[in-house]
Amino acid sequence: MDNNKIILDIENVSQWFETRQGILNVLHEINLQIVQGQFVSLVGPSGCGKSTLLNAILGTVPPKKGTISAGGIPVLGPNRNVGMVYQHRSLYDFMTTEDNVAFGLMLDQTNLFQRLFMPWYWWPLRKKHMEEARELLNKFKLGHAHKHYPEELSGGMKQRVSVAQSLIMKPKILLLDEPFSALDEAMKQEFQEMLLGLYQENLEAKKKGEPPPYTVIMITHSIEQAFYVSDRIIGLSKNWNDEERGQAGKTFGATKMWDKCAPVYHPDDPRDFDLFFAAQQELNQVVLREDAPDADRNDHVSFWSDLEKGVGTGVTMLRSNQ
């Protein structure tokens, strides 16, 4: 659609590392454009480079080849445009929930001298930071726990606090590393509802002609969760070939083998995972099986061509009212 803004542009990215055994090729010629407001799940077998790609987007481990830009700005290192919630949540045990969420604003907008010797400047700003933190906590149904410490929170609550901790900095892109891995079924449902609620805000913003506020890219091993909370699935695999150039993934590293839209759900919709069973089975055969036969890497990469045909749902299919 012609009113979709590209918020993340990955062009011809390859990554390799030097080991005692020689060069280890991890990623090969990744080309990917993410539209502002999309929720994208990155899937693939263990060791296929999902975390490597996420670290490249974050800027902590730049690629050896290719370029990445977030919000139109080249990613050359960690920056404000990209936020990250790690698999092992990074909450400070000695801080309350609201202090944890507001901590990034404090570091970003003040220094130690101002906090110690300029109370007329720091105290009003501190009050504003705490108000913003509580607003986010209320959004994520955690307002009652704003004075609790991390040890008093469930795993699902800690996960939502970690997301609030990142979103308060207003990153253009939020990265989630295995957000469902340490949650039981009830906690997974709570976290799903939170993500789907954020996506609904994107849809409402797009309808009003406003920029969708949240763009999320997550790594997950759960295909059911990927289809349920995302509008697009990206699959990485080493089981590919390129007969024209005589290349094979097992030699050159993982590349994009799957790129298709996924159905969009409302938080109140029933969790009917049978709706995408066929796509899940195909994705498993092409990308996830360790012994999957090599396939042409373009056979299941159809997101943009499908979009041109009117296939898909969500923010990429919406035209604003303005």
pTM over 0.85: yes
pLDDT tens-digit series, residues 119-159: 999 999 999 999 999 999 999 999 999 999 999 998 889 98
| CA distance linking residue 12 with residue 65, whole number of Å | 7
- 117 pLDDT tier (thresholds 50, 70, 90): very high
| CA distance linking residue 214 with residue 217, whole number of Å | 10
- Tell me which fold the domain 87-170 belongs to: Rossmann fold (3.40.50)
| CA distance linking residue 215 with residue 243, whole number of Å | 35
Q: Is the pLDDT of residue 1 over 60?
A: no
For domain 6-81+173-317, the CATH superfamily is P-loop containing nucleotide triphosphate hydrolases (3.40.50.300)
| CA distance linking residue 12 with residue 317, whole number of Å | 26
CATH 3.40.50.300 positions along the chain are: 6-81+173-317, 87-170
pLDDT tens-digit series, residues 175-233: 999 988 877 888 888 888 899 999 999 999 999 999 999 999 999 988 888 888 999 99
**Angle at the Cα of 166 from the Cα atoms of 165 and 167, rounded to 5 degrees:** 100
**Angle at the Cα of 30 from the Cα atoms of 310 and 293, rounded to 5 degrees:** 85
